[in-house]
A = this chain, B = another copy of it.
């Protein structure tokens, strides 16, 4: 998730509305098309060479999942979109990766956009846009690049595990979204760990100098995750409430289940958000406590030795007539007095609990 960029939503300034332009940065990826075509009994898995190979699946009776990796191949995507009769604005949204999670209903299909979140090797959150088209008997999915969270789903289709092979395309879409939402849990788990690491660091006093910068960055990260996840609740809610003929009644229960998960994730995010705001407060009290300690050391040292130095100064004066100077035991008496003062001071500071 590059920090600086506010993706302009759809086009360069002055660009014609309706242009299909990829706005992301992964323009060197290869195009990769895969297709799963299955019924209760059979399952075919294909690596497609070109988009045209996918055209036949539109009217089969079997359920088909066509997964497109590589949003920079706008021509192929337009070709595919035209075959499946997608609206030009849908095509634009697919390749413009600054979409907010949303659902748009068209006559023959549903268009769902959401964000796939995961941590990369450097512990940075990656937010990849995934778009789905749910047709009568097919699901099209579009991703920026290869590598996703759907491997378990692929396995289940291949090996006919679970219900997926017994259900239609609407259940397939559920399975895919569910896989994405499941990953949200691991993302926020890591966020939670980070917050607790900060807490521990602050409480133990072992903070780096850039702790407040790190906290600010974490705050930003949480705000971004929030933005990726929160609108999805509304999307799923609309699927659940809506009476699209593309979603069967018996599948709705499953979408309700995703909705429950999203509420759980959202609540966790909001708790984290509240926790992180109080981190700064805590850091502030830590700093103040430290300063307090510094001041105490200074005050104790100064309060003890400044008066003693004054007394020594008195008897360093060169007046001709200072009676004490002649007296033989003066020096020792003075030492005694000084030690008494010293101990008195110590006692005073101890009573004040500064020592």
Contact = CB atoms under 8 A, between A and B. Distances in A.
Nearest to A324: B319
- Closest 6 pairs (CB-CB, A-B): A14-B152, A312-B313, A16-B162, A315-B317, A298-B299, A316-B316
A210 B200 CA distance: 11
B280 A288 contact: no
Given A15-B152, A280-B285, A298-B303, 5 more contacts: A8-B186, A220-B275, A298-B302, A299-B301, A309-B313
A306 B308 CA distance: 10
Contacts of A324: 319
A305 to B, nearest CB: 5
A58 interface: no
A309 B352 CA distance: 27
A261 interface: yes
A278 B213 CA distance: 11
Contact of A314 (B151, B156, B312): B312
Q: How many copies does the complex hold?
A: 5
Interface in A296-349: 296-299, 301-303, 305-310, 312-326, 328-331, 334
B156 A253 contact: no
A297 B353 CA distance: 14
A283 B280 contact: no
A52 B52 CA distance: 57
A184 to B, nearest CB: 9
A186 to B, nearest CB: 7
Interface stretch (A43-51, A77-85, A129-137, A191-199): A191-199
Contacts of A302: 298, 301-302, 306
26 contacts: A4-B193, A6-B188, A8-B182, A9-B264, A13-B149, A13-B186, A14-B153, A17-B254, A102-B260, A199-B213, A209-B289, A216-B282, A284-B285, A288-B288, A290-B292, A294-B299, A295-B295, A295-B299, A297-B299, A297-B303, A301-B302, A301-B307, A302-B306, A309-B309, A320-B326, A321-B329
B280 A280 contact: no
A318 B138 CA distance: 102
A321 B219 CA distance: 67
Nearest to A303: B301
Contacts of A267: 100, 227
A186 B281 CA distance: 30
Contacts of A309: 305-306, 309-310, 313
A31 B227 CA distance: 43
A46 B302 CA distance: 78
B278 A278 contact: no
